[in-house]
A and B are shown apart, each in its own frame.
Chain A
Amino acid sequence: MSLFLQQIINGLTLGSIYGLVALGLTLVYGILHIPNFAHGALYMVGAFMSYFFMVDLGAHYWVAMAGSAAVVAILAILCERLVFHPLRHSPPIHDKIAAIGILLFLEAVVQMFWGSDFRRMSSPYSGILNFDGLIIPEQRLLIIAGAFVLVVALQLFLRRTMTGATIIAMAQSRDGAFLVGIDANRVAMMTFAISGILAAFAATLYAPINLVYPAMGHLVIMKAFVIIILGGMGSVPGAIVGGMIIGFAEALGGFYISTSYKDIIAFGLLVLILSVRPQGLFAKGAH
């Protein structure tokens, strides 16, 4: 029983991280209809920035997280301004190729500065809590709590503030948003910044129980894509629910079926679902 609960905690942890990454991806898709393949690279840069602030500059974990979020947000805005904005009238295949270009570039730059070694990042929360035989590392609790706080904050921002409302308006109808005088450039930049911040937070939360290396974004971004297809592209609740589904499937599947094939589970699930329902599981009711 406690082993099963352990897997539930693992599933929640993974689901929280995947959910955060998928949220950024789905927001950008909702606004600009770009599948941002470079999002995984932003996640990776987020982890490296935190690593840099903590190890090289000796900053505290939370300071490093904030610094990393700021850097990645600026990077995301630059991507929007320099790459996606000029391509807004191009055929969709060009956006995808440009996103791949950004991904390749960021990875190569990080590899040039830090090499392709696997690095460990410590966190001040390395203790372990023991609830009557159920062992929970503090960092995992922090991830779950952190993701919860971020999702609630994002919801409040989108639903309760005027700026947030402009993002939702633009996702619902581009033309409608223009008609009521919403500045598309501002919304696009803001959406990219939010997606970058979420990616940096997710990476900094997850890095202490994982490793930091240039290719760390590959699997995460592909799973995030699986999630937003499951949840309906552009849907915020869909990203969270989808994240949890994939997180639990992976934790339980990895434990009860096979650890070496646990990464295939998410993709197998995707193939299965898209074979039956090409439009995704919850395609209706987006936004």
Chain B
Amino acid sequence: MFKLASLLMTPAAKYLMLAFAVLFPLVATNEYQVYVMATAFVWAIAVYGLNIITGFCGQLNLAHGGFFAIGAYTLGLLTADYGWSFWPAFAGALVMTAVLGFLVGIVSLRLKEHYFAIFTLCVGFIIYLLIDKWEELTHGAIGVRDIDAPYGFGLVDFTDTTPFYYLVLGFLVFAIWFMGRLSKSLLGRTFIAIRNGDELAQSLGINLMRNKVLAFVLSTTYAGLAGALYAGMVRFIGPEEANVQHTFDMITYLLVGGIGTIMGPLLGTIGLVWITQSLQFLEEYRMIIFGPLLVLLVIFFPRGITGSFLTWMHRKSQALAPAKKRQANKVNTGQSREAESNA
């Protein structure tokens, strides 16, 4: 995994992608395409969060969509009902999701595997029910209207699609950069050690609870960031944002892209968001495709696009081994590490 960036994404490829993202509003034929891309970026940020706790740390968190909704609602309610301006409310949303993530984390992470997944599924549902029923606070089924757009300090107007697109892109680049740093750091390796085995990690002197809670808080903060951006973009939110369906969508994006990889969440999210958008009939029945897709992926390609691509690269480089022995060796070490951490 640590060599992933250099393997799949040589610096040149990485800058090429960034350049494409920067130029996208210029090549897009209409504003709607820019809007769809911005939406995809917002979801990608949330999927990166899921990747930290589920991909790196190995804990299937089914409350992720709930935290996305908490971020969106915190921003929405603070700006619409309490007269906060956008950026303080934005910070408030991050703090709120981090604090709630911490509280949920210290209870839920004492549970192992299945218990954790079931518990978080229930937490996600409690979040949905609270948003739906607590009308005095959340307006219930009516939803929150008149959410502020980001305040551009008189320089830019974020109510326009294109400036907002660049704002989201900025946050996404930061999210990916942070993820890359994290995966190379001791902390990231610690998370992977926990995924590979609780007892083994513990015997290495890793404090399980502290690291799991940290991963959980990081992941909920990512979700809160995405939720707050979403609220600022759509500017009208309802209880449906907390629907467990969103969590399932994000799991699909993560799996298609490649769970536990750096570029996987981005590729999976953008790819699937565009596919659903371009096949309109899929919007409502997308699960007829996504459901079996999930099953087939975990059976045949549990490592998604990015992981499978890496395996293919590895095989190819082995075939060329005599000719490019030195280079192949280099790739090999990266690959075996990648395989280990994906096991």
Contact = CB atoms under 8 A, between A and B. Distances in A.
B299 A92 contact: no
Contacts of A119: none
Interface stretch (A55-63, A105-113, A124-132): A105-113
A147 interface: no
A226 B125 CA distance: 12
Interface stretch (B31-39, B116-124, B165-173, B198-206): B116-124
A160 B54 CA distance: 43
Interface string A85-113: 01100101110111011111111110110
Contact of A100 (B118, B125, B248): B248
Interface in A2-35: 29, 33, 35
11 contacts: A35-B118, A98-B299, A100-B251, A108-B291, A111-B284, A112-B288, A226-B122, A233-B114, A260-B133, A274-B110, A274-B111
Interface in B280-322: 284-288, 290-295, 298-299, 302
Interface of A: 29, 33, 35, 37, 82-83, 86-87, 90, 92-94, 96-98, 100-109, 111-112, 218-219, 222, 225-226, 229, 233, 260-261, 263-264, 267-268, 270-271, 274-275, 278, 280
Nearest to A86: B299
B247 to A, nearest CB: 9
B218 interface: no
Given A97-B251, A102-B295, A271 B288 contact: no
A102 B291 contact: yes
A245 to B, nearest CB: 16
B217 interface: no
Contacts of B123: 267, 271
Contact of A222 (B58, B125, B284, B299): B125
A187 B248 CA distance: 30
A111 B285 contact: yes
Contact of B288 (A97, A103, A109): A109
A112 B285 contact: yes
B204 to A, nearest CB: 20
A100 B285 contact: no
B129 A101 contact: no
A278 B288 contact: no
A123 B113 CA distance: 41
A86 B298 CA distance: 10
Interface residues of B, number: 39
A202 B108 CA distance: 30
Contacts, number: 116
Contacts of A270: 119, 122
Contacts of B121: 37, 222, 225
Given A97-B298, A270-B119, A108 B255 contact: no
Given A83-B299, A92-B114, A225-B118, A264 B294 contact: no
B107 A274 contact: yes
A55 B130 CA distance: 36
A96 B117 contact: yes
A112 B293 CA distance: 18
B119 A261 contact: no
B100 interface: no
Contacts of B293: 101
Contacts of B244: 218
Given A101-B291, A101-B292, A263 B129 contact: yes
B15 interface: no
A274 B133 contact: no
Given A108-B291, A109-B288, A278 B110 contact: yes
A92 B113 contact: yes
A227 to B, nearest CB: 11
A226 B120 CA distance: 11
A98 B295 contact: yes
